[in-house]
Every structure is written in structure tokens, then in C-alpha cells.
Structure 1
Amino acid sequence: MGEEFLRWLRFVLCACVGAAFASLGGDAAAESVATPNFVDQHQRIAKPDLSSRQRIRFLTSTDYPPFNFLDERGRLTGFNIDLSKAVCEELGVLARCQIEALPFADLVPALRRGDGEAIIAGLAMNATTRREFAFSQPYFRYPARFLVRRDRAMATPIADHMDGKVVGVTAGSSHAAMLRSFFPNAEVQTFPDRLEALSAVRQGKVDAYFGDGVSLSFWLESDAADKCCVFADGPFLSDRFLGEGLSVAVAPSDTALADAVDYAIAQLVAKGRMTELMLRYFPISAF
């Protein structure tokens, strides 16, 4: 993710995550948040034996909210942190599990040195990183979403009703390229940053904004949004434009650990614990 994205997401998260969690109690949250399943439940993975493992250290960073970040007391927290603990618990190795936070640039060198066994910090899974690491199956994928004013709803499916619609998007972003590819009939208006584009939606200068569903879900709950807007249609997923999702990276020789993570995540999904984690960190659905 780019620095501009991270700065904007930190701002939005700090501004609204507390209010969002306070406003959604257990049952209400379950009704409000769609929790997608990216695990193939028909796949059969044998339960791994990790009894010989002396340590399983997950390496992460502190600059990737809501997945891994420092809370207001300086404590490491986030979806990835709790997922790491849940994976270790499911594998029966919680007592031997560790989580260490490093600057993002130091994660790969640390794994190469053997200072950790896995990276869970949003490391991109692509042709280059696949040559250097083994990966678990994706446990999360970033959705693209349309955001519109409440009083200017767009008919769905949006792809069939794009004629004459002006859609804002951040200039030079992967979402700009995806918008032009997926919706060639849209009249695209680019903006230098997200906040300016979202302001244009609020003021009715554009019909919609197309961008990252995760960050937009938090913005919708922020004071800046002031309940102006809602998602329309989607979610829209694309490996080509948005990447293959979030996975756990391990040393290329340690595919057994990647398989163990796959097994644990499949169990967490089947038992409903993945949904619990989603509800904890995503009070407004990005999907």
C-alpha cells in the first residue's frame, strides 16, 4: 500500500473506529457486517503435527491499520495480531507462539536471517515474492466499492446504468485503472487524493467515487462523512488490479508451516471464529 493510503487510513481509523465499535453491539454488528469466506471449505487439509517446533514467531509491522497497528496505549493490536494468536491456538502451539513488530522494511531481512518463521503484515503476493517465499492461501481480499450520496442512489447493477454518470477516482491509482477496465461507459473524473474526491461526492459534483472498500467503510462512520453516503453495488474483486489478497509468508523451505496456517484458518472459518474477528475489526462491512 502507498504512503498516501496509509496516512489517510490512519486518520480515518483514529477518527471513527471507537465510535463505530461503540455503536454496534454483538447482534447488531452481526446483522450489519458481511463476512466473506475466502477459504474453500471443500478442500481437505490434514491436521499438521507441529510438536517438534520450538518456536513459531510471526513478524509484523505497526503501520497497517486495522490489520496491525499500535492502539492509543501503544499496544500492538489488529486483525492480523488476533488472527496469529487464533491460528496458534487452533494448532495447539499457543505457548510457543510469538509476535514481533518491526519496521516494514525490516520484515523480509528478518525472515531471511531466521529471526522469525512467518510474516503477517500485508506483504504483497506476486510473481516476485513467490520466488522468494512460500505463502498460505489468502485469508482476506481487498474489495473495490462504489460510494454514493444517500439521496443520489444509482440503479444496479451499476455496469448497466453507467451512461451519463460521472465517477470520481484517485488519479494514478489501481482503482482508476480498474474503473476504466470494468466500467468503460463511465465518465471518469480523477482527483489528486481521496479526501478531495470524497468531498466532491458529498457536494454532488460527481455521482460516485470508486475506491478501496476497507478504508471507505471506516470513512462512512467518520465525522467527516456525517452519514452522507452509502455503498452501491459490489463488492468488486480483481487479482489483476487489487492483488491476490492477504496471506502469511514463510521461508520457501517451510511449506509445512504454510500448510499448517491453511489448516488453522479453514478451521477458524468453519467454527465461526473468523467471523468474530471480522466483526471485531470491521464494524461496517467493506463487502
Structure 2
Amino acid sequence: MAVCAAIVGVTSVAAHADDLDKVKQTRTLTFALTGKYPPFSFIDESGKLQGFDVDMGGEIAKKLGAKPVPVLTAWDGIIGGLLAGKYDAIIGSMAITDERLKAVDFTQPYYRSGAQLFVRKNSTVQGIDQLNGKVVGVTLGETYEAWLRKNRPGVQIKTYKGLPDILIDLANGRIDGFVTDKIAGILTIREKQIDAKPVGPLLYPEKIGIAVRKGSPKLLEAINAALADIASDGEYGSISKKWLGEDVR
């Protein structure tokens, strides 16, 4: 999942102790996600927060001896919230990019995917090059928006708060297509029986990591160790198959 412009000009809070110390003191791991990115994070019909990232955050917290505390945050301000100390990490399907690495540190990738174009099933569009002059939806602040503006300037971009809003406008014919994570898009249109399909190759691949504030190497090391444990004890495979249908490592 994708932020570019949102991190420009944002600075970290004053010098701080390694965030692992805070996690140990409070016995909580606070982590941000949007709750608008099914099946990675979403609010179900009963009002409960669910998804792959939610479960991953829960397992990581357990490995750290802490209680998981997910924090719902708009995507375009999610890095700013981390730098301001509002949570300990971002476990929200964030792609690792050079631009983001200037502001935060990332764990090893915990899954891989990429940017995919989706259109309505009856569309004759076969790829992004056929959408010059057409309207394409993206979530505000994601890297997909920045990529389109740089690489496909002829495309008209419409931004949204999350994938559910994009799908409504696609169904109503207000946009001609949308770009999102391939896994998230395919699983969402399958589960919700959305009249949409992926077309063309990946616009670009992405490695997805967990972000922490710079100056917290102990927390970064602890989360990396937790991810390794989750992979080796089979929990990763169980969570991945539950939400994504397969092991996506």
C-alpha cells in the first residue's frame, strides 16, 4: 500500500528513548492502520476491526509480551502520527520506498505484492496506457497516486479516503478504473462480488514492511525477531491463508 507527499516537511519529535522501552513499560504495542483496506484491515458488520494486518499486529504484540492496541488513522497522515509519537508502529500494509526511508525505519518485508490496475468487467481496457484522459481512482496519499502523476500524466486522478469509496464510484461509473494493491483488490472484488477485474501487468512491485520511528533500533530488532518467530511457528501461514487464501511470503 502506498505515501509520498505526506512525509515531506514532517519532522520527528524531540529525541526519545527507544520505543521498545515504552512497549515494555506499558505492556502495550500501539500500531496504526486505516481500517479501510480489506482484507488487510476493515470494520466488519458487527463493528469489529478485522483483517490480516490486525492479526499480524496481534501476534507481534504477543511475541513482545504486550497487548495489541490498533489505532485507526487516515492514510495521508499515518506517518506524521508515527513521528509525533501517537503510536509505536505502522502495521498497515505500507510499501517500503526510498522516500519513506528518509522519515522512518522499516522491518524486513512481511509480504510482497504490487500496484495493479482494475476496471469494470465489461471494460475493453487492457492496460493503463488506454486510460489517458480517463479518470482513475486511488486512495489519498498512497504511492499509486504519485506513480500515476509521474509516469502517466495524461490520466485524470481522483482521490479517496479508502478502497470502499473507490468501489462505489466505480460501480456508479464516476471513474474508469482504480489502482490499488493487487492482493487487496482481487480479494475484495471476490468477497464483495464487485463488478471489476484486474488488467495488465503490475505497474510496479512492492515490498511491504512495518514502520517504526528512527532512533528505535531495539524495537525494530524485536519486531523483526517476532516476524521470524511467527513465520517459523506456522502462525504466519495460518493468518495468511485465513485472510488471503494462500501464504504470501
**TM-score category (smaller protein):** 0.5 to 0.7
Question: Percent of aligned positions with the same letter in both sequences?
Answer: 22
| Cα deviation digits, residues 116-163 of structure 1 (max 9, x gap) | 111112333211110110111110111589xxxxxxxxxxxxxxxxxx
Equivalent residue for 1:78?
51
Comparing both structures, which one devotes a greater share of its residues to helix?
1
Equivalent residue for 2:89?
118
TM-score when normalising by structure 1? 0.52
Comparing both structures, which one devotes a greater share of its residues to strand?
2
TM-score when normalising by structure 2? 0.59
Structure 2 unmatched ranges of 5 or more: 3-19, 117-123, 137-143, 148-156, 158-165, 168-180
CA contact (8 A) 2:31 2:69 kept: yes
Equivalent residue for 1:101?
72
| Cα deviation digits, residues 25-46 of structure 1 (max 9, x gap) | xxxxxxxxxxxxxxxxxxxxxx
Distance 2:24 2:192 in 1: 47
1:216 partnered with 2:186:
yes
Structure 1 unmatched ranges of 5 or more: 3-47, 146-165, 178-191, 196-210
| Paired AA for residue 116 in structure 1 | Y
Distance 2:188 2:23 in 1: 41
CA contact (8 A) 2:104 2:213 kept: yes
Distance 1:223 1:216 in 2: 10
Q: Cα gap change, 1:132/1:167 in structure 2, threshold over 3 Å: closer, same or farther?
A: same
1:19-98 to 2 correspondence within 5 Å? Answer: 52-54=24-26, 55-91=28-64, 93-95=65-67, 97-98=68-69
- What is the root-mean-square deviation of aligned Cα atoms in Å? 4.3
Aligned residues: 187
Equivalent residue for 2:205?
242
CA contact (8 A) 1:57 1:99 kept: yes
Distance 2:83 2:114 in 1: 31
| Paired AA for residue 118 in structure 1 | A
Equivalent residue for 2:177?
none
1:80-229 to 2 correspondence within 5 Å? Answer: 80-91=53-64, 93-95=65-67, 97-142=68-113, 168-170=126-128, 171=131, 212-220=182-190, 223=193
Distance 1:212 1:52 in 2: 36
Q: Cα gap change, 1:221/1:133 in structure 2, threshold over 3 Å: closer, same or farther?
A: closer
Distance 2:85 2:217 in 1: 15
| Cα deviation digits, residues 222-257 of structure 1 (max 9, x gap) | 6467xxx9x9xxxx889xx222x2211001101221
Distance 1:269 1:130 in 2: 25
